[in-house]
Amino acid sequence: MDLHPHEIRLLKALTEKMSPQEAAEVSGLPTDAVMRASSWLSTKKLIGIEERIVEEITLTGEGMGYAQNGLPERRILDEVRDSCELSRIKLDRGVVNIGLGWLRKKNIATLDKGVITVIDRKETGDEKILKLLKEKGKLTSDELDEKQAAALSLLRQRQNVVDVREKKIMSLSPTKEGIKLGKTTKEDTSISQLTPEILKSGAWKTSGFRPYDVDIYVKPKYPAKKHPLRQAIDEIRAVFLQMGFTEITGPLVESAFWNFDVLFQPQDHPARDMHDTFYLGLEKDTEELGDLKDEVKAAHEGGWTTGSKGWGYEWDEDVAKKMLLRTHTTAVTARRLSTLKKEDLPVKVFSIGKTFRNEAIDYKHLPEFYQVEGIIAAEGANFRNLLDILKNFYMNMGFEKVRFRPAYFPYTEMSIEPEIYLEERGEWVELGGAGIFRPEVVKPLLDGFECPVLAWGLGLDRVVALKLGLTDIRELYLSDIDWLRKCRV
């Protein structure tokens, strides 16, 4: 059996049951080396590791005062010979009040008509425990006999006298095979770590090198790392940048005009209701929008010059003024399109940011979540280009199987929903929406020229949950340090 030098030294030292600290002293190994070696030997069934929980008892500051000056009842007894009037005891009233209660409880004195009479002056069990704690500094519950345990229980009934905490005690015991190997195995002198001294002395020429065991157990390490959500944001950002996109950002607080109206979403659309959108009770002046406001109004009411019939209702400017927490990042791309000039083409931009929706919290819905958005504005861009870009985008994100299903969105036509195949679940999962912006969206935004705009977006939190195998999206935001440490990178 191949054994590490530390394992051999520990086996030779471990002739009986010992604590790791005792084994370290006998073997000459550091305690952490003993812990590692014992773990390896345990998997090889050469030693047994026993763990138990005991209580560790120490004195508090107040308890140390009692140990030095005596318990309140002992101080009263010291003031009384056989009997004494209570009024003649020269102690603090607080000490007397506490002490009288314990004198009666322990049945070592009586109080009758203001006179204290001593029954028993012998040292009590709790006083002996106090003295022992003062001498030793601490005790463990397994050190105490039955009488001492009862005395400690009495002492613990007092407030803030002793501090009791649970402590894990470990002991190491050699198995029969371990004892046998400890006696017969010679210490390994081969080199396990190459140092400058070994190179200079030439010891490596005769000692030989110890082979590495790549299957040996090693205690897990949990170094600092990014939160899974932050890591996903960085990865998706890298995918976009590799595909030649530029990142854009926009305000979290948006007007209904930029969030809904400019995207050709009718003012009576259910998504605008209070139960879906966080309105702030504020308004944003629309005068600065100039012709854009009039063109959006015309597109809603009758299609403007797009060839569409629009929605056929009277557009209300007051509704467009309402301020809200943005419900999607498409408002960011709409703002970018409004500043676009023909000489800027082609344009490829993306945004990653938080969005807000007034939804009940459950395993797949949150009121606050990240959304990813990408657009391409280029002359001659078409639906086939969109499908190809989407396929590359999702494959760069690590999803090998991608397909598309027809869909409907108010501001794109044609519209699709990309789906990715999850091998571990054996099913196709919808992952966002995509399409070509309708003329009613693009024409008012682009100043004096026309150009197809390909667009797509997806909820980032859901993507991360799928990749990590989570069934509840809320788990991403729990303060679970154990999960965060063990979460795969």
Q: What tokens appear for 397 in the block?
A: 């994100």
**Element of type H or E holding 62:** helix 61-69
According to the model, what pLDDT value does residue 208 have? Answer: 74
Q: What is the DSSP letter of 87?
A: G
**pTM surpassing 0.75?**
no
Radius of gyration from C-alpha coordinates of the chain: 39
Amino acid at 308: S
Q: Give me the helices (H) in 218-351, please.
A: 228-242, 256-259, 291-302, 317-321, 330-338
Q: From CA 360, how far away is CA 398, in angstroms rounded? A: 31
pLDDT bracket for residue 414 (50, 70, 90): very high
According to the model, what pLDDT value does residue 24 have? Answer: 92
Q: From CA 462, how far away is CA 355, in angstroms rounded? A: 13
Query: Is the per-residue pLDDT at 219 higher than 90?
Result: no
**SS3 (DSSP) at 227:** coil
Mean pLDDT across the chain, nearest whole number?
A: 89
According to the model, what pLDDT value does residue 17 have? Answer: 92
**Element of type H or E holding 37:** helix 31-43
**Could you give the percent of the chain with pLDDT greater than 70?**
99
User: What totals of helices (H) and strands (E) does the chain contain, helices first?
Assistant: 20, 17
**SS3 (DSSP) at 172:** strand
According to the model, what pLDDT value does residue 380 have? Answer: 93
Q: From CA 2, how far away is CA 319, in angstroms rounded? A: 78
According to the model, what pLDDT value does residue 184 have? Answer: 83
Q: Which residue has the higher pLDDT, 341 or 79?
A: 341
For the segment 332-338, the average pLDDT, to the nearest whole number, is: 94
Q: From CA 329, how far away is CA 352, in angstroms rounded? A: 8
Count of CB atoms within 10 A of residue 82's CB?
8
Q: From CA 232, how far away is CA 226, in angstroms rounded? A: 9
The model's pLDDT over 29-84, given as tens digits with 9 standing for 90+, comes to: 999 999 999 998 998 999 999 998 988 999 999 989 989 988 988 888 888 888 88
Query: Is the per-residue pLDDT at 88 higher than 90?
Result: no
Q: What tokens appear for 196 in the block?
A: 């400058």
Q: 54 CB contacts (<8 Å, ≥6 apart)?
A: 140, 141, 142, 166, 167, 169
**Element of type H or E holding 152:** helix 146-156
Residue linked to tokens 């054996």: 426
For the segment 8-32, the average pLDDT, to the nearest whole number, is: 91
Q: From CA 243, how far away is CA 350, in angstroms rounded? A: 11
Phi, psi of 399 (to 5 degrees): -100, 115
Q: From CA 242, how far away is CA 374, in angstroms rounded? A: 13
The model's pLDDT over 129-162, given as tens digits with 9 standing for 90+, comes to: 899 999 999 888 888 889 989 988 988 998 888 9
Q: 224 CB contacts (<8 Å, ≥6 apart)?
A: none
The model's pLDDT over 351-366, given as tens digits with 9 standing for 90+, comes to: 999 999 998 898 888 9
According to the model, what pLDDT value does residue 5 have? Answer: 82
Q: Nearest Cα to 27, choosing from 150, 174, 164?
A: 174
Task: Kindly provide the residue ranges of all beta strands, DSSP E only, lying in 345-411, ordered along the sequence.
Answer: 347-356, 368-377, 402-406
As beta bridge partners, residue 376 has 348, 454
According to the model, what pLDDT value does residue 216 have? Answer: 67
For the segment 391-409, the average pLDDT, to the nearest whole number, is: 91
Q: What is the DSSP letter of 119?
A: S
Contact between 280 and 430 (Cβ < 8 Å): no
The model's pLDDT over 423-477, given as tens digits with 9 standing for 90+, comes to: 888 889 888 899 999 999 999 999 889 999 999 998 889 888 888 888 889 999 9
Q: How many residues does the chain have?
A: 489
The model's pLDDT over 153-199, given as tens digits with 9 standing for 90+, comes to: 988 998 888 999 988 889 999 999 988 888 888 776 677 778 898 88
The model's pLDDT over 291-313, given as tens digits with 9 standing for 90+, comes to: 999 999 999 999 999 989 999 99
322-325 vs 279-283, strand pairing mode: antiparallel
- 308-320 in b/e form (b: 16+ CB < 10 A) is bebbeeebeeeeb
Q: From CA 333, how far away is CA 330, in angstroms rounded? A: 5
Domains of the chain: 58-136 (1.10.10), 230-486 (3.30.930.10)
According to the model, what pLDDT value does residue 347 have? Answer: 95
According to the model, what pLDDT value does residue 480 have? Answer: 87
Contact between 320 and 261 (Cβ < 8 Å): yes
Q: From CA 400, how far away is CA 396, in angstroms rounded? A: 9
The model's pLDDT over 237-277, given as tens digits with 9 standing for 90+, comes to: 999 999 999 999 999 999 999 999 999 999 998 878 876 89
Q: From CA 57, how far away is CA 144, in angstroms rounded? A: 11
Query: Is the per-residue pLDDT at 397 higher than 80?
Result: yes
Query: Is the per-residue pLDDT at 381 higher than 80?
Result: yes
Q: Which residue has the higher pLDDT, 119 or 189?
A: 119
Q: 94 CB contacts (<8 Å, ≥6 apart)?
A: none
Q: What tokens appear for 458 in the block?
A: 């997806």
